Each structure stands twice: as C-alpha cells, then as structure tokens.
Amino acid sequence: MKRPAEAPVAPAVVERASQWLMLHWGGELDTDQHAAFAAWHAADPEHRRAWQRLQQLQGTLASVPAATARQVLGELPDRRRRDLLKTLGLLLAAGGSAYLAGDLPWRETFADQRTAKGERRHLRLADGSQLDLNSDSAVDIRFDASQRRICLLAGEILCQAVQEARPLVVETAAGDIRTRGARFAVRELDGGSRVDLYQGQLDILPRHAAAVRLQAGQRLWFNAGGIGALQAADGNASAWSEGRLIAERQPLGQFLAELGRHRPGLLRCAEDAAGLLLTGVFPLADTGRVLAALERSLPVRVSYRTRYWVTVERRA
C-alpha cells in the first residue's frame, strides 16, 4: 500500500538519509560511495521518500552555494566544522517540517562521542569507569558533583561502572538505567532498549511504567510503556568490545545483520540462505575475511556488485 506523502518516515531511515546528506555536503563522493548511495536509494521506496524530503528542505539553504559550503567545511578545524554543521542542521530541520525538526538525528551527529560504521571506541570516564562504544553509536556524557549520566543517543554501549555514592544513569529514549556500580551492556533495539547485566545490580525505570530491578546474569528489553520477559544475559553479545563476533548455531541471516553493523554499505542475505546455522569466532577487524570464511564453511556464495553492495546467496 502506498504511504501518504506526509506520513512519518521511520527514524532509522531518516538517520541514514541524513548521514548521506552530510556526506554530500562534506565533499565529492568517490566512485564506491556513489555506488553505495545508489544502492541504498534504490533498495526501498521509503529511502527515496526520506531523501526527497531532505532535498526539499535544502531549499532553506538555497542562498549558500554548495561549492562555498564544501570549501568552508573542508578548511575549518574539526570543532568549528562540527559547530557549523550543527547550525546548518538546525536551519535545515526548521525549514518546513516539524517532524524533521524532532526526528532528524542532529543530536547523534554532534554527540560528545560518536563512532562511525566499523569503528569501536574505548573510553575511560572521569570517575574511572570504562565505557565502550560499538559501531555506529553515539553518547553524550554529563558528569558533575551530583551525577554521572550517559545519554545513549544511538547504537550500543558496554559499561563497567565503578562503585561510588553517585548513581550512574544511562538515559535512553525508553527510560533510565541506574546503578551504583555494575558491568552491563545497553543496545537500542526494536523500538526500545535491551540491557544485559553481567555483574552487580541495576534498576530499569521505563518512562511510563514501574521500575524493575535486574540481577547479574539477566537480560531485559523495555520501552517507555513497559518491560519484556526476563531472559539470561548473553555474554557473547558483547564480544564486539574485544573485536569479535561469536556465533553458536546462529542463523546466517541474524549473523549477517550483526556483521552488517560493522561494515559500510549494504550487506544482504538471500532468503534461501538465511536459515543456515553458523558456529565460530570471527574477527571484526576485516569483515571481508569473515565473508570469505563463510564461503569455506557454508554452502554459500558471496557476490560483490561493488565493495559496498554485497549479497550472500546459497550455492546451487
């Protein structure tokens, strides 16, 4: 069914479209980037609708020649460039759509800490806590005399919070996660947040539901209105912090969805191969090697249209 032109576009689609917009404004795309953009644009009508909406909003900046903007962006220091892009983003978001003003992910783009696709970052916080950011993740960090607060804007984190009197709070769109000291992972997923608690205990406070306490070894998904069923924490789910993906009889489609978070472009799994079961430990430093290993261990073929457009199919 055709969607109304003014219907909201999914936030994840808007986020990717705005990232492409930033790349276009930042300078000329190379051949592979052009191919990756064309693949993304052609993959889904919602991608085209989001891109068209952003293109229409660029009319608010029509008085700024594109070549001049690119030159300015290229010559400014990193901090000044971030500030200018933030200003341009606010102007663009205010240019004709309340939806985009609220949902275009400028907060993620200009977060205190952000990782690109395929990048992971290890941080030591002011209190001595350890914070790891997974690929394509963003956080704001607010520490002062009375609080330790991490705002998870996108993606996934692993936190080893040191024990002290000030609570450490991870703020998500669904609600807050609060602890005095614990080791835990948080991932934005399926319209809510998923928490794996490995050590200690913590409280989950959905925005519009009662709080619940989580104990070590437990996993819980929650959204603003409530919580899901308690499950066992998955230690393998945080292996990315050590540069690995671990699969234990995992369907190939699920594995490739995870691997795709760590490489640019499109990584697709054909329907007839998605159910094949995979077991192994795979390094994230070279996703191309991982794809080659799949061809040796499973009856699949990896087809490259470009470096950024890859499909895994079952061999005949």
Same domain flag for 152 and 232:
yes
Same domain flag for 272 and 305:
yes
Out of 110, 132, 160, a domain closes at 110
Query: Quick one: average pLDDT of 279-305?
Result: 94
Q: Give residue 190's pLDDT.
A: 73
pLDDT band, residue 58 (cuts 50/70/90): low
Q: Give residue 296's pLDDT.
A: 94
35-46 pLDDT tens trace: 888 999 999 888
Instruction: With respect to residue 35, please indicate whether it lies within any of the assigned structural domains.
Output: yes
Instruction: With respect to residue 59, please indicate whether it lies within any of the assigned structural domains.
Output: yes
Same domain flag for 28 and 131:
no
Q: Kindly give the interhelix angle for 31-43 and 11-26, rounded to the nearest 10 degrees.
A: 150
Same domain flag for 204 and 268:
no
Domain count, the chain: 3
Same domain flag for 119 and 232:
yes
Q: Give residue 71's pLDDT.
A: 46
Query: Quick one: average pLDDT of 68-91?
Result: 45
Out of 236, 266, 292, a domain closes at 236
293-308 pLDDT tens trace: 999 999 999 999 888 8
Longest dimension (CA), the chain: 63
Long-range CB contacts for residues 98-105, cutoff 8 Å, separation at least 24: 99/8, 99/9, 100/14, 100/53, 100/54, 100/57, 103/8, 103/11, 103/14, 104/14, 104/18, 105/11, 105/14, 105/15, 105/18, 105/153, 105/154
Same domain flag for 227 and 247:
no
Same domain flag for 131 and 100:
no
Instruction: With respect to residue 5, please indicate whether it lies within any of the assigned structural domains.
Output: no
Q: Give residue 79's pLDDT.
A: 46
Instruction: With respect to residue 3, please indicate whether it lies within any of the assigned structural domains.
Output: no
102-114 pLDDT tens trace: 444 556 666 789 9
Q: State the CATH number of the domain containing residue 267.
A: 3.55.50.30
Contact 84, 94 (CB under 8 A): no
Percent of the chain having pLDDT more than 70?
78
Instruction: With respect to residue 2, please indicate whether it lies within any of the assigned structural domains.
Output: no
- What's the rounded Cα separation, in Å, for the pair 192 and 223? 4
Percentages helix, strand, coil for the chain, rounded to the nearest 5?
35, 35, 30
- What's the rounded Cα separation, in Å, for the pair 135 and 158? 12
Same domain flag for 221 and 251:
no
- pLDDT at 88 > cutoff 60: no
- pLDDT at 207 > cutoff 90: yes
Same domain flag for 252 and 192:
no
Beta bridge partners of 101: none
* Closest by Cα among 205, 204, 178, 174 to 192: 174
Instruction: With respect to residue 6, please indicate whether it lies within any of the assigned structural domains.
Output: no
Domain range for residue 262? 243-314
- pLDDT at 92 > cutoff 60: no
Q: State the CATH number of the domain containing residue 145.
A: 2.60.120.1440
**Average pLDDT of every residue of the chain:** 82
Instruction: With respect to residue 1, please indicate whether it lies within any of the assigned structural domains.
Output: no
Same domain flag for 262 and 304:
yes
Predicted TM-score (pTM) of the model is 0.69
Same domain flag for 225 and 125:
yes
- pLDDT at 224 > cutoff 80: yes
pLDDT band, residue 7 (cuts 50/70/90): low
Percent of the chain having pLDDT more than 90?
58
Instruction: With respect to residue 278, please indicate whether it lies within any of the assigned structural domains.
Output: yes
Q: Give residue 291's pLDDT.
A: 96
- pLDDT at 139 > cutoff 70: yes
**Which range is least confidently modeled, 15-29, 64-78, 206-220?**
64-78
Same domain flag for 219 and 252:
no
Report which residue type is found at 115: T
Out of 236, 254, 279, a domain closes at 236
